[in-house]
C-alpha cells in the first residue's frame, strides 16, 4: 500500500515535466523567447508585403552591384492613390509620382543610393511609402517587417 502512493506522485511529476517541456518548445517556436527562433524568412517577408495596405508589394527585384530595383506595387484600397515617394532604409528613392486606381498594379523602377551587393547576397530593407489620397497629402505607410530577399 505504501509503495502505491509514491508511484502516483512519481507519475504526476513525470506528466508535469513533459507538459512543461512541450510548453517551452511551443514558446520557442512561436518566437516569444529571443534567440530561440530566427528572424523572418524571405517567404514570410513576401507574404507580409503582399498583404499590406493600402499598397502591397507583389514582386520585387534588387539588382546585384547596382543601385536599381523594381517593385511591382498594387493599390489594394478602394480609392485612387498617388505614390509620391518610396523610402528604402530611410533613403528616399528617385521616382516620379505614380497614380494608382483602385486595385491597380504597376511596376515601379527605383534608383536608390544604396547598392544591393553581389549576386546571391541577402538583403533586409525597411520600406515605407508616401502617398496622396483624394483629399489628404503626405500619408505614410510603414512596414512592420523588412523586405527580405537576395540580390540578382
81-136 pLDDT per residue, tens: 999 999 998 888 878 999 999 999 999 998 876 788 899 999 999 999 999 999 99
**pLDDT at position 36:** 47
Instruction: Enter the pTM of the model.
Output: 0.72
By the 8 A CB rule, do 54 and 75 touch? yes
Instruction: Provide DSSP, 80-111.
Output: -EEEEEEEETTEEE----EEE-TT-EEEEEEE
DSSP letter (8 states) at residue 77: S
Q: How many residues does the chain have?
A: 152
Q: Domain map of the chain by residue range? A: 1-38, 42-150
How is domain 42-150 classified at the CATH fold level? Immunoglobulin-like (2.60.40)
50-88 pLDDT per residue, tens: 999 999 999 999 998 888 899 999 999 999 999 999 999
Amino acid at each position: 500500500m505504501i509503495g502505491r502512493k509514491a508511484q502516483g506522485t512519481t507519475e504526476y511529476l513525470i506528466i508535469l515535466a513533459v507538459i512543461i517541456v512541450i510548453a517551452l518548445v511551443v514558446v520557442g517556436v512561436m518566437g516569444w523567447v529571443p534567440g530561440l527562433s530566427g528572424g523572418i524568412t524571405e517567404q514570410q517577408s513576401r507574404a507580409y508585403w503582399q498583404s499590406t495596405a493600402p499598397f502591397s508589394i507583389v514582386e520585387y527585384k534588387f539588382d546585384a552591384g547596382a543601385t536599381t530595383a523594381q517593385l511591382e506595387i498594387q493599390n489594394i484600397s478602394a480609392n485612387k492613390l498617388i505614390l509620391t515617394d518610396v523610402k528604402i532604409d530611410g533613403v528616399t528613392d528617385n521616382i516620379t509620382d505614380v497614380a494608382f486606381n483602385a486595385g491597380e498594379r504597376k511596376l515601379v523602377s527605383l534608383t536608390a543610393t544604396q547598392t544591393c551587393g553581389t549576386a546571391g547576397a541577402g538583403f533586409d530593407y525597411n520600406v515605407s511609402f508616401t502617398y496622396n489620397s483624394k483629399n489628404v497629402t503626405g500619408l505614410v505607410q510603414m512596414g512592420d517587417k523588412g523586405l527580405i530577399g537576395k540580390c540578382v
